[in-house]
Amino acid sequence: MKKYKVVVTDDRYGSYKEENKVLSELGITVDIHNFSIPEEAKKILKDADAVLVNLFLLTKDIIDSMENCRVIVRYGVGYDNVDVDAATAKGIWMSRVPDYSLEDVSDHALALLLSSVRKIAYKDRKVREGKWNLHKDWPAFRIAGKTLGILGFGAIARVLFRKISSLGLEKVLIYDPYVPTAEIEKLGGTPASLEDLVSQSDFISIHAPLTKETEGIISEKEFTDMKANCILVNTSRGPLVNEEALYQALKNGQIAAAGIDVFNSEPLTANSPLRTLENITLTDHTGWYSEESIVELKTKAAENVLAVLKGGKPVYPVNNIE
C-alpha cells in the first residue's frame, strides 16, 4: 500500500483521533505542524499528498511548491486563506466543511441577537458594578412584530430562520442574489434588495461568504440608511462589515446595538475602539464551536481527504479540476 503524507498546517485542536480513525483505512497518521513562515511550510508540504488547513495562509507561492498534493481541505466553511486559483492551476482539489456547525452558528447568532435586544451583557456588567433599575438607561423593545433581515441565505441562515420563526416576527426579509425568489418564498421568507433589507429591518443578521463582491457590503451608506433602533449581528466574516463605519454608527446612535463574533483582524486588537462601546456584544469567533461540532468538523475534513486519495472527488469541492 502506498504510504501517504497528510499534513496539518496549524494545530488548533491538540488531538487528531477523528482524522486518524477515518484515514486509518489507508494506513495514514496525520503529520501535525504549526507553520509560522512560508519557507517552513514549503519545505514540509513539498511532498505532501493532502493538506488540512485551519487559519494558515496558503499562498500561490506555497501551493506552487507542492509537488504531490491532490487535495487541500479547509477546516470550516470559509476558505479565503487559501489561493483557490493557484490550487486549481496545479490540479489540486480544494475542499471545505460547510455543514458542520449549522446548529452552533445559528444558535450563536440568535444568542447575540437576544442578548442585544434584552441588553444582557450590558446589564450583567452594570449589576456587577452595583447598578440597578437599568431599564431607565437604555430602552428595550420586543422582538414580536418586528422585521428581521437576513443577508445571505445559505445553510446556516436557513437554520436560523427556522429557529427564529417562533418569536413572532412580522416578516423576515432575505437578500441573496444567488437564491431564486421562488425558493425564498417557498420557505416563508420575503425576498428583498439589499437596500430594502437595510432600510426596513429592525434586526439584521449577516450570513454571507467573504468574496470580492461581499467585502465591505455593510459600510457607511448602509449604516446611514438603517433604522436608529436597528441591531446588527455578524457571525460570518469580519471584513463583510466596515469596522470603522460600525464603530461610528454605534457611537453616534445611527444604530442601537450590535453583536459581533468576527472581526477584520483576529484576535481583536487591544486598541480596537469597539472595545470602548457599551452597546456592542463581542465574542471571540467561536460561533462555530461546540464539542459536537469539533468532532463533526474533524471527521468530515478527513473524509474529504480520504475520498480524493481513494481516487474520487472530495465530498465538498470548492473547485473543479476535471
Among all residues, which ones are annotated catalytic? 237, 266, 285
Q: What is the largest CA-CA distance in the chain?
A: 71
CB contact at 8 A, 188 and 214 = no
d(CA 156, CA 2) in angstroms, rounded, equals: 39
Residues 6+ apart with CB under 8 A from 23: 6, 29, 30, 302, 305, 306
Is residue 267 reached through a cis peptide bond, with omega within 30 degrees of 0 on the bond before it?
Answer: yes
CB contact at 8 A, 153 and 184 = yes
Centroid of chain to Cα 217: 15
Neighbours of 53 (CB within 10 A): 24
Q: Which amino acid would we find at residue 95?
A: S
Q: Give the bridge partners for 281, in sequence order.
A: 259
Nearest-5° angle of CA 255, CA 259, CA 264?
Answer: 95
